[in-house]
Every structure is written in structure tokens, then in C-alpha cells.
Amino acid sequence: MFTLTDDERAISDTARDFAAEHLAPHAVEWDQTKHFPVDVLRKAASLGMGGIYIREDVGGSELTRVDAARIFEQLAKGCPSIAAYISIHNMVTWMIDRFGDDEQRHAWVPGLCSMDQLGSYCLTEPGAGSDAAALSTR
């Protein structure tokens, strides 16, 4: 049987409570009005959600991918759109932290972890559109 540790439970509870208080009451309105709540994202970052699996020495929370999955699950209960964005933001931040050089890492990762800077990515290719699995190279 799989059980969460007290720390893991606290992480999930924090994300659940954040979603219930800051996401769920506004999710439908945000989707209908195409509102991107930067202030709420920065509140999430203040709880460590801007760099979930990023090293602490550059501003991250240094949690596991399993912790991240539990956080995203709880956030999605409040607003799937914001949960998806925070997931993508964390992926972008991790890519720079993992594959960037020291100059890039220090220039970008702390601001991304605090969500003073926001990360995303774009994807399209003729014949595949935005279907990442259908991309091809020569």
C-alpha cells in the first residue's frame, strides 16, 4: 500500500487549499473572458510552485516529479487551464536550469521561479500543427 509522508501530504494540502481559495472561484470567468491572472500565478510562486522541481540554489523548491504531479492534480481541481500553464512554466524553467549554461541559468531561472518572468513555448510544424508526437526531422 502506498501512503504519503507528512511532508508529501502537506504539499498536496497546500496546493489543494490554494486551488480552492484562489483558482476555483474564478476559473469559469477567467476562461470566458480569456483572463490570464498573473497576480494569482505570483501567489502560487510564493508557495514554491514557480520552480517545483528546480534546484533550491537558483530559487526552486527542489521537489520530485511525483510531488509536481500531485500539485498539478490539486491545482487542476480548481482550474485546469492554470494548472496546465503552471506545468508548462515549470517545464520551461527546468529546461533552462538543466540545459542552459551558467549565464543563462542565472539570468532566467530565479525570475522564472518567482514568476516575475513567465515561461512558455510555442509549437507548430507544417503537416503536424501542434501535435508534438507527429513532429519529424530530417
Is residue 28 a contact partner of residue 67, using CB atoms and an 8 Å limit? no
Q: How far is CA 116 from CA 46, 85, 110, 124, 137, in A?
A: 11, 15, 9, 27, 35
pLDDT surpasses 70 at 138: no
The model's pLDDT over 45-80, given as tens digits with 9 standing for 90+, comes to 999 999 999 999 999 999 999 999 999 999 999 999
Cell numbers representing residue 70 in the block: 500531485
Is residue 71 a contact partner of residue 15, using CB atoms and an 8 Å limit? yes
Q: Which CATH architecture has domain 6-134?
A: Orthogonal Bundle (1.10)
- Where do the structural domains in the chain lie, given as residue ranges? 6-134
Query: pTM of the prediction?
Result: 0.88
